[in-house]
Structure 1
């Protein structure tokens, strides 16, 4: 099963992680891959943790990614990156949005949001940090940060040969398709 790739998307409810995962999965299926996807919503509508695990290859038997097995983790929020870092392979890639969403304990003042997350992660991996929220605002719609991260993911893992524009157009309302295609292209351009 060495041809199977493991992708873990992590973040907080309301960030569009499920939509990004569905676009990714559809693109992979349309390209002939066997794809398995698992999603965990948690308290998604209340800002809780959301994760999706996507495995693709010639033949995939399970959607579950174990610790130390993710080829790439894409974190839509900093604290979630730190929470899931143990799932990354030693040579895996980590793409992180610099965005911070305070959890309930932070909001009520019980704890402070950790200020050293990105530095801590650099000790365990070589993360690519993206200012997705800032870029999405500059693009004109903060809600496109998920598609910016998706674009970065596809380039980071080598999936540029899929016609992502058509997949995005088929899954997003017409009036938002163009801005999301721009966001996707912007995300790809952020990865070397």
Structure 2
């Protein structure tokens, strides 16, 4: 049976790195894995998405509307924007973090304060405070690895050797910090 994970965020949040680490871990565990990513205007704070499909045999890297088992959002407005990709019985993991898009920054639009409530009213939702947990660890940039930990826990993928994946794919001086961040993410869900 194929599982579908959609990761979304805003450029600069590390969504793509988290997707690559997850893909490598799933491959290490022996799954057939397909990944597809869209950068959009990611370098300018635009939307970023990665689709990961894994199982015994995966034919396509594309998740259709209503096909994601889990939607993982690194920024809460992105969760709302991509909600139509979630299966009716799917789960959302949303980082309680907001990045104002250009219409909000220019004053043409407001950032709704009720996004989390709106998402929770529609689907099973886990709220993760990855941003503050990353700051507590001493580096806001590990927010993505904290989010990765939450995915690992929700998908019951703890048996994969994530320490090895991090050791082989993160700069040496950041390995310990990322291992701590991964554990924090696993413990948050």
TM-score, normalization by structure 1: 0.97
Q: Which of 133, 136, 144 in structure 1 is aligned with 2:134?
A: 136
Residue of structure 1 equivalent to 2:29: 31
SS in 2 for 1:23: helix
Q: Which of 175, 178, 182 in structure 1 is aligned with 2:176?
A: 178
Q: Distance in 2 between matches of 1:48 and 1:142?
A: 19
Q: Distance in 2 between matches of 1:31 and 1:175?
A: 26
Shift of 1:13: 0.2
Correspondence 1:1-192 to 2 at 5 A: 3-191=1-189
Shift of 1:24: 0.4
CA RMSD of aligned residues (A): 0.6
Q: Distance in 2 between matches of 1:31 and 1:153?
A: 15
SS in 2 for 1:147: helix
What CA deviation, in whole Å up to 9, does each residue of 1:14-52 have, x standing for no partner? 000110000000011111110000000000000000000
Aligned length: 189
Q: Distance in 2 between matches of 1:41 and 1:19?
A: 12
What CA deviation, in whole Å up to 9, does each residue of 1:58-82 have, x standing for no partner? 0000000011110101000010000
Q: Distance in 1 between matches of 2:85 and 2:158?
A: 24
